[in-house]
Structure 1
Amino acid sequence: MTGDLPGWKQVFVEDFSAGDVPLGRFPGPLYSAQWSAGYKDGTPDTAGQRSGGKSGYYPSKVLSVRNGSLDWYLHSENGISMGAAPTPRIPNASSNPPRANSLLYGRYSVRYRADALPGFKTAWLLWPDSGVWPRDGEVDFPEGDLAAIIYGAVHYERNGADAWDKLDSDQSVTSWHVATMEWSPGRVEFFLDGRSLGVSTKAPTSPMHLILQTESCLTGCPAPAAQGRVSLDWISIWVPA
């Protein structure tokens, strides 16, 4: 987790050891230098943009730091299923950054687990700083419904439309896993617990920023009473050395 690697220089690491933060107070004084809570309460998530806001991001009702992990308390209130999408602040990320956590190429590694919650999902992703999608691509890992297997995806434009390479694992989220994506010129490779899931050659070529997007209703919505947690034990980020 800590330190440079062959070919990679570490620029960010977080293990949430500075202390706990109550629900609704993240990042708070302990973590505000390195984190943003992401989208404000009430921002529709990917599915909510199409469903009139029946699912969305509510960091004040979802995020906390508990027992040395960043915690998502996934649940529904008043018919709205709630997630959150915190983002790390990477210092000196780029010589001319449009965003504080912008990188062109990088290695991103997380140790995480989750409860099996049908209808909720992770899509921890690299999103283009330009906002032009699918032209400038998208990289997602770990991705998947929390009751299904973990996979990685690389989105790209083909004939003016979204196309994607999907690389599956055979693992569920209910055990602790280390998920790593390596984004280099001409290739994106996904690793789960040190094992390669494969390579996509459709690598984005413009700066991207990391969003730990945790949301719902993309492959069916969660049951109204469903609730559970996603836990991030640590995250580490490197740039090409």
Structure 2
Amino acid sequence: MPKKLMGQRYGKYEERFRVSKPAVGYKSAHLLWPVVNDGCSEIDFPELEWTETIAAFTHPSDCSRQDAFDTGRRWTSWHTSTIEWRPGCVRYFLDGRLVGQSTRGIPDRPMTWVLQNEAALNGDRAAPNSWAQMDIAYVKGWTWG
């Protein structure tokens, strides 16, 4: 990840991606993670298992109920995801279309953008010696203000 996008407070984050080889038991959680881990603040998009549809999640800093937005879109086509994180608001876009917005429990501390691809935490597990592949064409980011 570009260093300029690490530890910043607010910003815009964009990536172009696809899963060219999906397999059961693999997922992504591309997220903004707090520099100082408060145990709950998290902004995730795109997220979920690669055999499911792409979703976005806002996990409030007070650990209250999360906001979840399902795009209904599959991982295997090329997509552009965008997170706009501003004071008091997070907006999620997929291919230029707004898929969700959160206005409660929005983190206000510095966060770092992380592209986390991993074995699925829920549901079916990845088979031994299996593999899957995500392609990322680019990442872009902008600071706030």
Q: Who is 1:132 aligned against?
A: 38
Superposed displacement of residue 240, structure 1? 2.2
User: Which consecutive residues of structure 2, in runs of 5 or more, have no partner in the other structure?
Assistant: none
Q: Who is 1:199 aligned against?
A: 101
| Deviations 1:181-224 (CA, angstroms, capped at 9, x unpaired) | 00001110000000000101132111100111111131131122
Q: Who is 1:209 aligned against?
A: 112
Is 1:145 matched up with 2:49?
Answer: yes
**What does residue range 55-70 of structure 1 map to in structure 2 within 5 Å?**
none
Q: Who is 2:59 aligned against?
A: 155
Superposed displacement of residue 122, structure 1? 0.6
Letter in 2 for 1:223: A
State how far apart, in whole Å, the 1-side matches of 2:143 and 2:10 are: 7
In the alignment of these two chains, the number of paired residues is: 142
Is 1:224 matched up with 2:140?
Answer: no
Q: Who is 2:7 aligned against?
A: 102
Kindly name which structure, 1 or 2, has the bigger radius of gyration based on alpha carbons: 1
Poorly superposed stretches of 4+, deviation over 3 Å: none
Task: Flag the structure with more relative contact order, 1 or 2, with Cα contacts below 8 A and sequence separation at least 6.
Answer: 2
Q: Who is 1:113 aligned against?
A: 18
CA contact (8 A) 2:60 2:66 kept: yes
Greater share of residues in strand? 2
Is 1:178 matched up with 2:80?
Answer: yes
Letter in 2 for 1:142: P
Q: For residue 65 of structure 2, give the secondary structure of its aligned residue in structure 1.
A: strand
State how far apart, in whole Å, the 2-side matches of 1:171 and 1:235 are: 20
Superposed displacement of residue 117, structure 1? 1.8
CA contact (8 A) 1:88 1:210 kept: no
Q: TM-score, normalised to structure 2's length? A: 0.91
| Deviations 1:71-101 (CA, angstroms, capped at 9, x unpaired) | xxxxxxxxxxxxxxxx3322xx6xxxxxxx1
CA contact (8 A) 1:157 1:163 kept: no
Mark the CA change 1:102 to 1:157 in structure 2 (over 3 Å): closer, same or farther: closer
State how far apart, in whole Å, the 1-side matches of 2:132 and 2:22 are: 8
Q: TM-score, normalised to structure 1's length? A: 0.56
Mark the CA change 1:103 to 1:172 in structure 2 (over 3 Å): closer, same or farther: same
Q: Who is 1:187 aligned against?
A: 89
State how far apart, in whole Å, the 1-side matches of 2:118 and 2:2 are: 18
CA contact (8 A) 1:181 1:191 kept: yes
